[in-house]
Structures are given as structure tokens and as C-alpha cells.
Structure 1
Amino acid sequence: MSTASSADAEGITARLTALGLTPRVTAHAHHLVIEAEVPDSLPSEKRREALKAVAEVDRFGLLANSLNGRTLWAAVHTETPATGDVRGPGNQR
């Protein structure tokens, strides 16, 4: 795992925690995933800050469904991705 990736994940986790969210970090073979439930009661200003916290990583998104509410997620590469898998903000699938 690269130090930059660990620092990115730790920074995101700290920022989300400071906003009152409870982030979870899951390690995968080539990346770390940070997820946090976003309650309806979270003020819009804090929602924007949460999105800013994840917007500068390799991949991020917000999943919403009627069963689980909203889950904010971010993926941080722990290795250099293959050439065809390089994406940045604004280039999500």
C-alpha cells in the first residue's frame, strides 16, 4: 500500500468523522473503500463538505435506495492502476 493512498484514506475518514458521519474502511486487493451512511437529517452544508472530502480521490459516488438510504463512498488506489483504469473526478462510470 502506498503512503499517499493511506494518507488519503485517513484524511477522508477524519473529515467525514468531523462532519458527524461514521465512515467504514474496507481494504481490497488494489484499493481502499471508504463508505459512510448519509442521514436525511444531515444539513445540506455538511453534505456538500462530505462530497468535497471524497471528490479528489480516484473514484467516488453516492448510492441511494429506498432500503438503505444514502451511502457516500470513495475508492483510493493502493497501487498504480492499469492504463485503462485511470479515472479522476468527473470521469466516473
Structure 2
Amino acid sequence: MSASEARAKDLATRLSDLGLTTRVEPHATYTSIEAEVPEALPAESWREVLDVVGEADRFGLLASSLTGRTLWAAVNEAVPATGDVRGPGHQR
């Protein structure tokens, strides 16, 4: 499991602890977390939910009358701090 997946699973667990149903999916450059948000989520719970997703690299909320509200967050894969990141012969 990559560091991104582990971090995303931790965030998903914390959202689950707040009563949300979550899904975690690894992608090539990030790991995503989605959670269905019930209509009756209390204001106090929203604060806690925002504290959790605020630790992700990016997050948002999709809302529609057909599908309800889905909270999403993404955790990026780590970028190498040093090394040959620009390819051979391009280092300075």
C-alpha cells in the first residue's frame, strides 16, 4: 500500500467514524475518497467532516437533486524530493 493510499484510508476511516459511507480508490497520481453525505447531517458534524477533508490535498462537494450530496477528497502521491526528476542530462 502506498503512502497516499494509507493516508486516504485513514481519512476514510475518520469520515466513517462520523457516520458517512466512504469509498477509497487508488489512481496513478492520487488516491480518492468519496462519501455520501446525508441530508440531515448536523452542523456540528459538518465542522468535523471539514476538519478531516481539510487534511487532504484537495476536496469538494458534488450536489444534485438526482444523486444527492457526495463529498470527495484526493491525496496526491508523493513527488520525489531529489533525484533525476527531469531526465538524463537535464540536471543543474
Q: What is the CA deviation profile of residues 47-86 of structure 1, one whole-angstrom value per residue up to 9, with x for unaligned ones?
A: 22111111121110111111111111100012429xxxxx
The structure number with the bigger radius of gyration is 2
> How far apart are 1:2 and its partner, in Å?
4.1
Q: Which runs of 5+ in 2 are unaligned?
A: 81-92
Aligned residues: 80
* Alignment of structure 1 residues 66-81 onto 2, 5 Å: 66-80=65-79
Q: Which runs of 5+ in 1 are unaligned?
A: 82-93
Q: Distance in 2 between matches of 1:7 and 1:80?
A: 16
What's the TM-score, normalizing by structure 2?
A: 0.77
What's the TM-score, normalizing by structure 1?
A: 0.76
- RMSD of Structure 2 on Structure 1 (CA): 1.7
Contact 2:15 2:52 in 1 (8 A): yes
Report the residue type matching 2:39 in the other structure: D
Q: Percent identical across equivalent pairs?
A: 59
